[in-house]
A and B are shown apart, each in its own frame.
Chain A
Amino acid sequence: MHARDLAKRFGDFEAVKGIDLDVRPGEAFGFLGPNGAGKSSTMRMVACVSPRTGGELTVLGMDPLAQGPRIRARLGVVPQQDNLDSELTVRENLHVYGRYFGLSRAHVRAKAVELLEFAQLSDRADDQVEPLSGGMKRRLTIARSLINEPELLLLDEPTTGLDPQARHLLWDRLFRLKQQGVTLIVTTHYMDEAEQLCDRLVVMDAGRIVAEGSPAELIAQYSTREVLELRFAPGTQDVAAVADLASRVEELPDRLLLYTADGEAALAAAHARGITPLSSLVRRSTLEDVFLRLTGRTLVD
């Protein structure tokens, strides 16, 4: 997939403001960003359902505006909101969907058995979808997206709303697909998900790409190796007293975050100055630190 200056406008609102992207075959690529950053709009353009309003876009070597159906025949799409037919059985959902890709009944039937196994849904195959748990429906949506053996799989917030067990199972399945050579494009606002799944990612904010790289590169570039968290009773913390102990200090209502290469050393230095926090924690920098630094802590809806 290849995009140059890709843009999407809805009336006066610019959802995607000219982004450049390249995703290579076999890669797992992530879009990170707060709500409204333009991730889903970008995904819908790549999925060839939403026409772009500016720039260039090539998916699997073709232009979505001219070759939408041909591209879609080789894509798998897991939308943000499930759109299964809840009045059909699990198996029927796969059968009906597979037929839309021009596949024969016999092939779809055999493929459905394989995918139900893959999604651990074999024992629910002939149950209606309606009463299934959120995790099962999500697994079914992923299974359905694989019915045409896609080369490129688009997952829009695949694990939002799932419990930890269901998330880990889904990640495991996505890893396997990646090993089979399927290209994955994932949007998420879970940092652990991005770190788990993505070789490379971009952080989007307000319709633009604000950072790009592997999880490790992003941490190296936008954060420090470690973070020292010092927790204080409200109103007793003093930023000025520790400002020179770290490359950057962030003040939150009940704690100070010291971004530093060596958290233990910074903690020792703070103790030496007679600073006595209620508690302290030295941890590795995560993508979450990068994300919050780039997109801010203000609530976005």
Chain B
Amino acid sequence: MAITAHVPSPPRAAWLVVEGLWTWYRRNWRSSVVSSVLQPVLYLVALGFGFGSQVRAGAATEGLPYVQYLAPALLVASATQTAAFESTYPVLSAFKWQRTYLGVTATPITSGQLVAGQLTWIVLRLGFSAVAFLLVAALLGALTGPGVLLSLVFALLTAMAFAAPVVAYAATIDSEGQQFNVVFRFIVMPMTMFAGTFFPVEQLPAWVRPLVWLTPLWHGTELSRAAAFGSMELLPTLGHLAYLVALLGVGAHLARRTFLRRLAV
């Protein structure tokens, strides 16, 4: 039993940050279930079953009923949306309103470990919601098989590839967070609509497609469907993975820098 204060090892330090965020979540999870689990389920029901009843299974849906075509993509899109939310206001608040990050870095925990802990927490938080969504989707018969477990991994990677740069950005904001509305309206929303979640990007005009290829969501959606439908091919898979891992790496590195700049002044 540790009874004298000491410096925790770096992984342990990051985990202690997760523990602190979990303590908060344990009290406040109810409100977040609506947006992160119920909302994608409603999308699945309304668009997958409702709108999907009017869509004939064909080449565009990879020969599947629309709801089964939609489910693995919705998994990625909703994880990314939740990630966008979790990496904006909570981060700004911990710097500016609650100022809890300032409390953490007065302890042996460093700002780099704080970033690692915050990102780890976001993955876990997304993980809970994604698993809950998959359970509901499975009960509704929207899943095609156990391949979605791999889709789940890809969904989390995609969401984090988006979250890490947003966390880095959130650490630079000193206002009341109006800029986040720009992120939601002009990045998250169009990305969700047009990056292949609801219909194949081949339906878009050719000049729009390169924009879509820049989004992590498109790469994640490609991976997730391929995993769920058992149609993975080596080179495209490696390409998508490389892009997402690079985005995550750059984002995490930037976050370390912006946290340090904000906290060690």
A residues at B contact (CB < 8 Å): 10, 47, 49-51, 68-70, 72-75, 77, 79, 81-88, 92, 95-97, 99-104, 106-107, 144, 148-150
Contacts and interface: CB of A to CB of B under 8 A. Distances in A.
B3 to A, nearest CB: 5
A101 B23 contact: no
A72 B27 CA distance: 29
A104 B13 CA distance: 13
A47 B264 CA distance: 11
A83 B7 contact: no
Interface stretch (B78-86, B101-109, B167-175, B178-186): B101-109
Given A87-B27, A148-B5, A72 B102 contact: no
B263 interface: yes
A97 B108 CA distance: 11
B39 interface: no
B103 A101 contact: no
Interface in B1-47: 1-8, 12-13, 16-17, 19-20, 23-24, 27-28
B61 interface: no
A101 B104 CA distance: 10
Interface in B61-108: 98-100, 102-108
Interface residues of B, number: 33
B8 A102 contact: yes
Given A72-B108, A102-B6, 5 more contacts: A75-B106, A87-B24, A97-B107, A100-B8, A101-B107
A102 B103 contact: no
A49 B2 contact: no
Nearest to B100: A85
Contacts of A10: 265
A112 to B, nearest CB: 13
Contacts of A106: 1
B5 A149 contact: yes
B3 A107 contact: yes
A99 B16 contact: yes
A107 B2 contact: yes
B107 to A, nearest CB: 4
Contacts of A104: 1-3
Contact of A99 (B1, B20, B103): B20
Contacts of A84: 98, 100, 103
B3 A73 contact: no
Contacts of A95: 23
Scoring A70, A74, A79, A83 by chain B CB atoms within 10 A of each residue's CB, the highest score goes to A83
Contact of A96 (B2, B8, B19): B19
7 contacts: A70-B7, A83-B100, A96-B23, A101-B6, A103-B3, A103-B5, A148-B5
Nearest to B101: A83
